[in-house]
Structure 1
Amino acid sequence: MLNRIDLRGSRRDPRGLLPRAQLDVSVAVEKIRPVVEAVREHGFPAIREATERFDGVRLERLRVPAPAIAAAADGLDPDVRAALLEAIARARKVHADQRRTDVTTQVVPGGTVTERWVPVSRVGLYVPGGLAVYPSTVVMNVVPAQEAGVESLVVASPPQPDNGGLPDARVLAACALLGVDEVYAVGGAQAVAMLGYGCTGADESDRCEPVDVITGPGNIWVTAAKRLLRGVVGIDAEAGPTEIAILADDTADPAHVAADLISQAEHDPLAASVLVTESTPLLDAVEAELGRQVAATKHEARVREALTGVQSGVVLVDDLEQGLRVVDAYAAEHLEIQTRDARTVAMRVRNAGAIFVGAFSPVSLGDYAAGSNHVLPTGGCARHSSGLSVQSFLRGIHVVEYDEAALRDVAGHVVALANAEDLPAHGDAVKARFQPDSGRSDGSDRA
């Protein structure tokens, strides 16, 4: 079922040889640009037209009424409520430890630099609702923003025709459990444009004010719209289809490996499931398990398409060392380590969105209730980017405070560097403070 890439004996850089989803965001950007520009120029009518075209819902208002959010929470299945509350508690515990404290460094006597950590004022949190709905993504977006101290949170999620044109009831219930009451029944590129530019809906009470940062996963159209809005607002990442890579040796349980590959494949036909192993007996056993488990899974067609796609496959390597080079080159969104001494191996990995160690830490745990965040970099972006966290909503601001003596002491260096860069006015701005006629008052009247 899985495509095979045999790197045994190869010394080539594996990055160009590994399976990847064939996505061209730049093409999607041009297709979606008219939607984004229409929302910027025309507001609610453009959102209503796009929503009717893409989601099959004609919006009467943008904002979800507060009673509908409360009713969704009241009607939530008790088991789902308990699971969401547990997920919230665990995520809050982990993300609370990510808070930053202001630090003041005394550079010299009389000269300090303080780094303040200040939350953004308002964030837009996108929760997808296409092939599946994601109340867990509400948790993953909202908790770190709240722990960062963001004052204004807004959630946007696509309207569902089978829920009266409102977002999925479980998504609304998760918002209620987290105390989020500003929710908009808008999805796709039009939601990103609404969040970035702001929009008045049916009346002034139906207005979405523009946000400072937009976070959350979505399809390629959401990703393209986020690229278009970069600079107008901050964005967390250009998320692509979900990925799992599993580095496994002959100690791994093939039933576990197959189940975990399937678990991510059921997200989307473009989802990537990649196994990296030196063990051909394990591979053969995993293939047998996939044949059995895929046939029994609910979303068989979707899973089978994902597992047989060009973005999925098995990579055969000579040994664990080559396997580590491969997974670092791949930089998976989710990386499982199912090997001997798995923790030691995991601590050697440099590039991954999140790492799941050993037989009892499946990606599904991280998706819901590990306490970690499941909004993670995809498409190899884990080489340079992190998953969503409290830091995503904070800005570091340096506060520089030098007294006269401290500035005088370093003035010569500032002037020298300013002259070296042919920016003499920079140096003059320092020298002016020490000229007799600089205009500084000494407390007495001057003629």
Structure 2
Amino acid sequence: MPTEVLMPALSPTMEQGTLAKWLVKEGDTVSSGDLLAEIETDKATMEFEAVDEGVIGKILVAEGTEGVAVNTPIAVLLEEGESADDIKAGGDAPKAAAPAKEEKAEAAPAPAASAAPAAPARDGERIFASPLARRIAKDKGVDLSAIKGSGPHGRIVKADVENAQPGAAPAKEAAKAPAPAAAAAAPAGPSTDAVLKMYEGRDFEEVKLDGMRKTIAARLTEAKQTIPHFYLRRDIKLDALMKFRAQLNKQLEGRGVKLSVNDFIIKASALALQQVPDANAVWAGDRMLKLKPSDVAVAVAIDGGLFTPVLKDAHLKSLSALSAEMKDLAGRARDRKLAPHEYQGGSFAISNLGMFGIDNFDAVINPPHGAILAVGSGVKKPVVGADGELTVATVMSVTLSVDHRVIDGALGAQLLQALVDNLENPMVMLA
């Protein structure tokens, strides 16, 4: 029976994407693991692999098509012995129900083809399994009703059957808590028509929103409407750090390593999260999650938006390792080549606009993070020295935006103090 290939969910937040390019054509034979297409999400362009074997019987969505919703049929895969004439005949085949919203949010980023019907289950409901999975199950003597599928809509795929034991008992699903009712959407300002009428007769250009800009708009609107932000500000003296950095860079010249001030800020933040562990936390709806590792996200501006790649276990890595990893992540972010696991997660973020000459600013928290550090430029300013004399120092202004649900005022102050101490005494970060 023909099998529909569905638009994959390549990240937990993906709702639609652009079918950028087909890597196969009608009539091509494909096997599990073969590349089928390139899909553009709101964040990146990713390759989409087949999970079944068969022949591409029909391409339903042309390459270049934008706004293709997740789980929309994009092609039809034929089994051995089937032809394109069977596609219409297979049109009455049962379709798997669309996944619940919470299941979609937890979906693995690996794409897969859609469900094809198999033999009836013991309770009278149909089992959905790929043709290859059904053949393997028959050869192994595995009862498909005993297998919980990992494919879309719970479909059973090849790997599920290969890992199953003959006669295995059906896995029991944990009871799912009912999804909370969605909050009423807050007014988003004047309607499109109202704004267009307001500027009628004026010269303007309409700019179409791509997936990334739509996602940024939605997430940051949500963040400012739902997260109780508060702000903590400090000035940090950078003279000791600048001197130490110059010494290290001179010693690292032979290895081709050049540390930036931002590398020190990443390391200082990671260590501060270890020094104040209660602040290393995220908001998870009805609870908090306290992380043990320091996974630090860093905002990277790209054409049309931004990424926040995450440096995992940053507290355990040397400055040179963090510098190399950050350069790699930033480069691939600008090329939109990051995988979802590279820009999701973390508990803390850094946004540095100092390189653009900004003295200070307030950053918006990236949920579910507990805090974000806004970093301004280092500027020479008159300061009162330890001896009471007026002197000149390089001072950097930072603002810590904090989610009050996760971090209270005093705890946020402790976190920022630890970060300041690390940056003003950089040698301790190597201890």
Q: TM-score, normalised by structure 2?
A: 0.23
Q: Which has the higher helix share?
A: 1
Q: TM-score, normalised by structure 1?
A: 0.22
Greater relative CO, 1 or 2 (CA 8 Å, sep 6+): 1
